[in-house]
Amino acid sequence: MSRVPGTRAAPSGLAWLVLVMASALLVGSVALALVGTSGSRSAQATPTTGKVFGPGYAGASNRSGHLPGDGTGGGMMGAQQVWLAGDGVPVKTIAEARARASQAAAAQGLSTGEVMQFSENFYVELKDSAGNPATEVLVDPTDGSVSTEYGPAMMWNIGSRDATVSADQARRIADDWLRANLPGQSTVADVKAFPGYDTIDTETNGNTAGMVSVNALTGAVWYHTWHGTFIAEEDD
């Protein structure tokens, strides 16, 4: 095939096919990148009272809570963060869990309150010098490490006790959520007011089952899914 000197030959059919496929792959990669960077944000939604939203968490079937930045009054680490490295010694009793939590809390001038033993961890309420609930921590039974509890204690503890949701309202909101998502489970009478949220123990047929938290500013609900089966408890 002859061509005019100084010009380039037109690409063959195979070359055009390769060029088109490469272009399509490039466009697809860009599109996926855009979805990846914006999908998590667009999936999140500001919850209405008593509802639970968030990427991978929406709907009753998940029975879980919110993620950082979902517009529920959290989005940042809370004011009371407590941590103590494990010493490698297993924690088997409530007394041992309380001792570990007390050691972790002392640095912030806090003391222990209620301790609950579950199959997955020990839950410990921490109180301030006035005896008010300040935050919640978990003690790892395998090595004794102590850390601020997942969920509300990390994300909703704003350090302020201002609230637009009363204790009675929080209980009603929690009970409505439990009826819709965990039939047969209900809250107990005691509502513990932490800075930014309330936490309420739950029970089934009169037996302790777990706990649920309600945001004190928005009324959003966060059920504690990480404890496992309830074993025992001890008040302060």
Tokens 């088997």 belong to which residue?
92
Q: Are 82 and 147 in contact (CB under 8 A)?
A: yes
Question: What does the pLDDT average to over 54-66?
Answer: 29
Share of the chain above pLDDT 70, in %: 67
Taking only the tens place, the pLDDT of each residue in 176-232 is 999 999 999 999 989 999 999 999 999 999 999 999 999 999 999 999 999 999 999
Question: What does the pLDDT average to over 69-96?
Answer: 75
SS3 226: coil
- Both tokens of residue 76? 């940042």
pLDDT given for residue 84 in this prediction: 97
**Is the predicted pLDDT of residue 57 greater than 50, yes or no?**
no
Q: Are 79 and 157 in contact (CB under 8 A)?
A: yes
Give the domain ranges of the chain. Answer: 12-43, 83-234
Taking only the tens place, the pLDDT of each residue in 95-148 is 999 999 999 999 999 999 999 999 999 999 999 999 999 999 999 999 999 999
Distance CA 209, CA 177 (A): 15
Distance CA 11, CA 19 (A): 10
The CA angle 176-71-83, to the nearest 5 degrees, is: 90
Burial of 150 (0-12, 13-18, 19+ CB in 10 A): middle
Tell me the pLDDT of the chain averaged across its residues: 77
